[in-house]
């Protein structure tokens, strides 16, 4: 059994972070990730975060953007939820991988309220971007701490109501249970390897507290099964 440490965040790269990853293999991995995320209740973390940001607002039209949108599965779940709530929502998926965006567009073609863009958030293309809420679903752990401290203020300035971060808890129990889950339910080596790496790149409560202190954020942290954090950042 591989020895692991969760004392600090791993810097090991994930296979999916390579921007030349494409084609049927990419589709297979994205489908596997979406299935795992849905089965383990990941989308409820994001939707409950959106609900929390809307507690003191009566908006019936929203613009919600998802940074690092992947296949767009989170946006499709948000779209279906918004319809049940009578909320008119415009959804925008942002991802740096153009091949992933192509797949997201294909899989979301029946959702007229979802669009996708390949944007670098530190480029001029992002200067005029605005949304009511920006979500980061399993995205933040891909970045190192110094980058996160640069990224969060940029996103916060663009989100009228706030940010919803949905990401993984870094823990040995989460790692071992995911190993067991993969042995039964996951038939993609890449999804399995990247999933385990993601956990070691994940967070503990003190990581979010430290970010908030250093960036002077008005924030809220909650933990959900299975080993998920919901980090809400309220815009000023």
Taking only the tens place, the pLDDT of each residue in 189-221 is 999 999 999 999 999 999 999 999 999 999 999
For residues 29 and 105, which has the higher predicted lDDT (pLDDT)?
Answer: 105
Residues of the chain with pLDDT > 70, as a percent, come to 99
Question: How far is residue 37 from each of residues 34, 77, 125, measured CA to CA in Å?
Answer: 5, 11, 30
Domain ranges (residues) in the chain: 39-169+204-234
pLDDT range class, residue 179, cuts 50, 70, 90: very high
28-55: average pLDDT: 94
132-139: average pLDDT: 97
**pLDDT at 125 > cutoff 80:** yes
pLDDT range class, residue 60, cuts 50, 70, 90: confident
To the question of domain 39-169+204-234 being in CATH 3.40.50.150, the answer is yes
215, with CB counted inside 10 A (0-12, 13-18, 19+), is middle
Q: Which residue matches tokens 């640069």?
A: 150
**pLDDT at 19 > cutoff 70:** no
Residues of the chain with pLDDT > 90, as a percent, come to 83
pLDDT range class, residue 127, cuts 50, 70, 90: confident
98-107: average pLDDT: 96
* Distance (Å, whole) CA 59 – CA 229: 26
Average pLDDT, the chain: 94
């Amino acid at each position: 059994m591989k020895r692991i440490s969760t004392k600090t965040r791993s810097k090991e790269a994930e296979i999916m972070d390579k921007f030349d990853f494409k084609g049927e293999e990419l589709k297979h991995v994205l489908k596997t990730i979406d299935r795992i995320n849905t089965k383990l209740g990941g989308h409820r973390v994001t939707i409950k975060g959106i609900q929390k940001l809307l507690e003191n607002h009566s908006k019936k039209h929203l613009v919600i953007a998802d940074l690092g949108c992947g296949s767009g599965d989170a946006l499709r779940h948000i779209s279906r939820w918004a319809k049940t709530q009578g909320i008119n929502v415009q959804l925008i998926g942002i991802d740096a991988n153009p091949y992933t965006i192509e797949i997201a567009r294909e899989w979301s073609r029946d959702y007229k309220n979802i669009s996708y863009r390949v944007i670098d958030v530190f480029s001029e293309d992002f200067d005029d971007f605005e949304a009511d809420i920006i979500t980061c679903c399993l995205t933040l752990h891909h970045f190192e701490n110094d980058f996160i401290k640069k990224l969060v203020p940029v996103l916060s300035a663009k989100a009228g109501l706030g940010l919803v971060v949905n990401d993984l808890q870094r823990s040995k129990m989460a790692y071992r249970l995911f190993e067991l889950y993969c042995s039964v339910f996951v038939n993609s080596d890449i999804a399995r390897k990247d999933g385990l790496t993601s956990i070691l790149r994940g967070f503990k409560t003190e990581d979010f507290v430290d970010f908030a202190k250093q960036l002077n954020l008005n924030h809220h942290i909650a933990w959900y099964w299975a080993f998920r954090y919901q980090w809400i950042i309220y815009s000023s």
